[in-house]
A and B are shown apart, each in its own frame.
Chain A
Amino acid sequence: MQAPWHEKILVYRLYEERSADAFGELYDLYVQPIYRYISFKVRTTTIAEDLTAEVFLKTWEYVQRREKKIDNFRAFIYSLARNTVVDHYRSQAQGEILRDREEMDSVPAPSEQHIARLVEIDSDLATVEQSLRHLKDEYREALILRYIEDYPIVDIAEIMGKSRGAVRVTLHRALNALREEIEKAERPSKGKKV
């Protein structure tokens, strides 16, 4: 885990020196986690790549505008990623407004190419990944940040705008919900008779 100190220094250099090197280092730190975060919310790797690139470009543009400083880069970039995905769905719906968060919750099934990559690694992984997509957005997000990215609860609380206690509750419920989805996914194959 990268020391927060290092990240603070990079953000400082980003603002004070408009350092392309500092931006490059922040990109190296966050490109994979942000890509993962987005890829579990969208259908194809191409869309995930495009939106990930958009997040970093928007980050640079935000720094350029110099309106407000970023105090917590991690919380900032995840919030930007979340909004970028929502904007993507809104543009897909061609002007239809997403009325509430639940419309975001049923993420479309991933493309076959996306599943194939995971099945190559482990077929159970593919099951877990597909089950993750069936969860409500809040649960999916909490599980990604905690168990995939390994962020401490205090960081997740800042990213999600919740208290630590509320994050723990969400994680507990999310794990139960994921277990149910996995069991549903495994049930048809277990029930098959020859």
Chain B
Amino acid sequence: MSTHSIKKQLRGLRAVTPSPAWQAARRDVLLKQIQSQMGTSEVPQEGAWVRISGAFTTFRVGFDGLMTTMAARSATVAVLLVAVFLGSSGYLVAAADRSLPGERLYSVKTGIEDARLALARAPKDKVKLQVEFAARRLEELNSLASIENSDERIAAVVSRFETSVASASSAVSQLAKEGEDRVAVAKLVDDRITEYQHSLQVTAEAADKKEFTARVDKALALVNRAGTEALKVIVETPEASKDDVAKKLDDKIKLAEETLKKADEKLAGGAKGAITDKAKSQSSDAKENLAVAKRKVVEGDYKAAIKILANIEDMVSSVSDSAEAAEEASTEIPGEVKGETNEGEPQETTETPAAEVLKQ
């Protein structure tokens, strides 16, 4: 059987699915279980005391982790650390502030961030914090870019960055529904978008590693999406600067066009197949929609333009992913990579996923 046939047969195994009846029944059971848990007194109700105690728990988890690690080496060191912490916690926090993923104090750093988030009451305060933490992740990324063999740590940082950006953006959308100070919060996000994009691009260029660039490209797409969500809110306000909004829309359209152009080049040179054909068709649809969005901007109908752009960006993201897959499929004849396979490693398990997934 040829490699092509094997791959085709493997794709055919997508036919292995649970029965629709089981799938639906299991969904019902799970959601009922969740809803009954939400209704019992065992589930903590939202309130300041719970949030504060939750924050301390979160902080304690990070601190305990540090203590466990240090105590494993030397009880004396652990005692000294407790004394230092109690005596001058500011120094510990400052030291943790400079730590990078994979370093011992990093869990303290992220524990403090989680505690601050839990203590923040107003959605606006949460957004401010998420925006600040996203910027910290970019600083960490910049530091990691020059360190060898840091791919896993980079992936973890980028993931956390994406979570912060998506959380901030989602909070903006929630505020829009609740009629709060949505414009100010949307502007908070909008103001940082250009900074994030610039920082990511500069770091990627400096690093000049293909793995790094691929990961950063995904993060850039997410940042762009967050910017679109913020712009949706801003565009609805009468006091929004028309020139400013028009320029941002133009920039987004140009970015979408460039992304589609790169994707089309990869699709033209990549592996052929159903996925490539579908991606080409999607690319064509996206371009048609971009033309409509451009017309709307010229006509001054910014609300319509941003709605179209939000849909286009999802399509562009999908086309870009397919193009990446097509390019990779056409170059899947790797050379040997020394020391990078984990054959024969013992299989560990715990109730919760392996620590690597959550490593920060």
- B155, A158: Cβ atoms closer than 8 Å: yes
- B342, A162: Cβ atoms closer than 8 Å: yes
- B13, A182: Cβ atoms closer than 8 Å: no
Cβ < 8 Å to B, chain A residues 75-120: 75-76, 79-80, 82-83, 86-87, 90, 98-104, 117-118
- A101, B324: Cβ atoms closer than 8 Å: no
- A23, B31: Cβ atoms closer than 8 Å: yes
- A79, B357: Cβ atoms closer than 8 Å: yes
Residue of A nearest to B161 (CB): A71
Compute how far the CA of A64 lies from the CA of B43 in the bound complex, rounded to whole angstroms: 9
- Given A20-B35, A20-B38, A153-B328, A56 and B30 contact (CB-CB distance below 8 Å): yes
Cβ < 8 Å to B, chain A residues 34-69: 35-36, 39-40, 45, 48-49, 52-53, 56-58, 60, 62, 64, 66-69
B162: which A residues are within 8 A, CB to CB? 4, 8, 71
- A168, B332: Cβ atoms closer than 8 Å: yes
Determine whether B349 belongs to the interface, using a CB cutoff of 8 Å to chain A: yes
Q: Is the interface of B mostly helix, strand, loop or mixed?
A: helix
B27: which A residues are within 8 A, CB to CB? 24, 27-28, 31
Partner of A60, one of B30, B163, B341: B30
Compute how far the CA of A13 lies from the CA of B169 in the bound complex, rounded to whole angstroms: 12
- B10, A100: Cβ atoms closer than 8 Å: no
Contact with A along B15-30 (1 / 0, CB 8 A): 1111000110011011
Cβ < 8 Å to A, chain B residues 337-360: 337, 340-347, 349-354, 356-358
- A125, B12: Cβ atoms closer than 8 Å: yes
Determine whether A194 belongs to the interface, using a CB cutoff of 8 Å to chain B: no
- B18, A165: Cβ atoms closer than 8 Å: no
- A80, B352: Cβ atoms closer than 8 Å: yes
Q: How far is the CB of A83 from chain B (nearest CB, A)?
A: 4
Tally B residues with Cβ within 8 Å of A: 83
A90: which B residues are within 8 A, CB to CB? 349
- B337, A166: Cβ atoms closer than 8 Å: yes
B6: which A residues are within 8 A, CB to CB? 128, 175, 178-179, 182
Residue of B nearest to A147 (CB): B10
Cβ < 8 Å to B, chain A residues 113-157: 117-118, 121-122, 124-125, 128-129, 132, 136-138, 143, 147-150, 152-154, 157
Compute how far the CA of A71 lies from the CA of B155 in the bound complex, rounded to whole angstroms: 10
Partner of A64, one of B35, B37, B336: B37
Compute how far the CA of A158 lies from the CA of B151 in the bound complex, rounded to whole angstroms: 10
Residue of A nearest to B219 (CB): A4
B344: which A residues are within 8 A, CB to CB? 100-102
Contact with A along B282-298 (1 / 0, CB 8 A): 00000000000000000
Residue of A nearest to B13 (CB): A148
Compute how far the CA of A74 lies from the CA of B281 in the bound complex, rounded to whole angstroms: 27
Q: How far is the CB of A66 from chain B (nearest CB, A)?
A: 7
- B11, A62: Cβ atoms closer than 8 Å: no
Q: Assuming A5-B317, A32-B17, A101-B346, what are 20 further A-B pairs, CB within 8 angstroms? A: A1-B322, A5-B221, A5-B314, A24-B31, A28-B27, A35-B17, A45-B18, A53-B29, A71-B160, A72-B155, A125-B9, A129-B16, A148-B10, A148-B11, A164-B151, A164-B214, A166-B342, A168-B328, A169-B337, A171-B332
Q: Could you show 8 A-B contacts with beta carbons less than 8 Å apart? A: A4-B317, A72-B357, A79-B354, A86-B347, A118-B16, A138-B341, A152-B325, A175-B7
Give me the interface of B with A, judged by CB distance under 8 Å. Answer: 1, 3, 6-7, 9-18, 22-23, 26-27, 29-31, 33-35, 37-38, 43, 54, 57-58, 61, 114, 151-152, 155-156, 159-160, 162-163, 166-167, 169-170, 210-211, 214-215, 218, 221-222, 225, 275, 314, 317-318, 321-322, 324-325, 328, 332-334, 336-337, 340-347, 349-354, 356-358
